[in-house]
Amino acid sequence: MDAAIKSIRPAKSNEPKKVETRPAELDPSEFLAAAVRADQPRPSRAEAEQAVLTLLSYIGEDPDREGLLDTPRRVVEAFDELYQGYHQCPAEVLDRTFGETAGYDDFVLVRDIEFTSQCEHHMMPFYGKAHIAYTPVERVVGLSKLARLTDIFARRLQTQEHLTAQIAAAIDEVLKPRGVAVLIEAEHTCMSVRGVAKHGASTFTSRFTGMFRDNPAEQQRFLSLVRGPTR
């Protein structure tokens, strides 16, 4: 009697194949306007300082001892500095452009933009470097504006992935270039000084739009320049 041979391959399905989709676009309100409106209700400075006193008591400290008497004021002032990005408008930073480019048609790259941000999960710092490139159409933006844009988004509670996407989306929306490339490398203190405590571990995130997304050769050229021998 002949043995029946069954195929181990799955049977073909008549269902249509799933098409790989690209990430959803960010809401423009995330990257085109200040995150805090002038009329938005907020706690008073006195209430913020009282919250710091509560945290000091929670960890077991005596808020009345000499070394901590001025700590609530200092912490709130530090917050004003660390999170000033909530009050700044990303679109305004990119608004002024220059047309005297002599027909320049290659990408512009600014690398090694140092930044410090705060993890939104633990409110602990993460810091590193951003590398940003875009291919302009007729007009370019001042190089320092890319660094300022990075700082605006970094000086908010963030994840590295979101920070990367916001920088790319803002440049893409305001400058309308042929493509944008953003690579961020950072160390997260919520991973290096707590939890698994892996000091020196780096996280890399990237976002490509336009010609950088659609042309692997342009992606590779961008990465080669970022990782060039002069670093």
The structural domains of the chain, ordered by start, are: 97-226 (3.30.1130.10)
CA–CA gap between residue 199 and residue 188 (Å, rounded): 9
> What is the predicted pLDDT for the residue at 28?
76
Give the model's pLDDT for residue 27. Answer: 78
Q: Residue 54, Cα to own-chain centre: how many angstroms?
A: 31
Average pLDDT of the chain, as a whole number: 88
> Order of strands across the sheet with 203-209?
157-158, 108-119, 125-135, 179-188, 203-209
Instruction: Tell me the per-residue pLDDT of 68-93, one tens digit each, with 9 for 90 and over.
Output: 999 999 999 999 999 999 999 999 99
- Examine the pLDDT at 22 and tell me if it is beyond 60: no
Both tokens assigned to 148:
């300022």
pLDDT above 70 coverage of the chain, percent: 88
Report how far apart the first and last C-alpha atoms of the chain are (Å, whole number).
Answer: 72
Residue pair 33/89 in contact by the 8 Å Cβ criterion: yes
Query: Strand, helix or coil at 174?
Result: helix
Tokens of 89: 């408008």
Confidence of residue 8 (pLDDT cuts 50, 70, 90): very low
Instruction: Read off the tokens for 92.
Output: 């305004």
Cα 201 to Cα 14, 188, 190, 192, 207, distances in angstroms: 46, 8, 11, 7, 21
**183-212: per-residue pLDDT in tens?**
999 999 988 888 888 888 899 999 999 999
Whole-Å CA distances, 161 to 183, 203, 216:
10, 10, 21
pLDDT tens, residue by residue, 153-164: 999 999 999 999
Strand 125-135 and strand 179-188: the pairing is: antiparallel
Residue 17 has a pLDDT of: 53
Q: What is the pLDDT of residue 7?
A: 43
Cβ neighbours, 10 Å, residue 75: 17
Return the active site residues.
Answer: 119-122, 160, 188, 190
pLDDT at residue 129 is higher than 90: yes
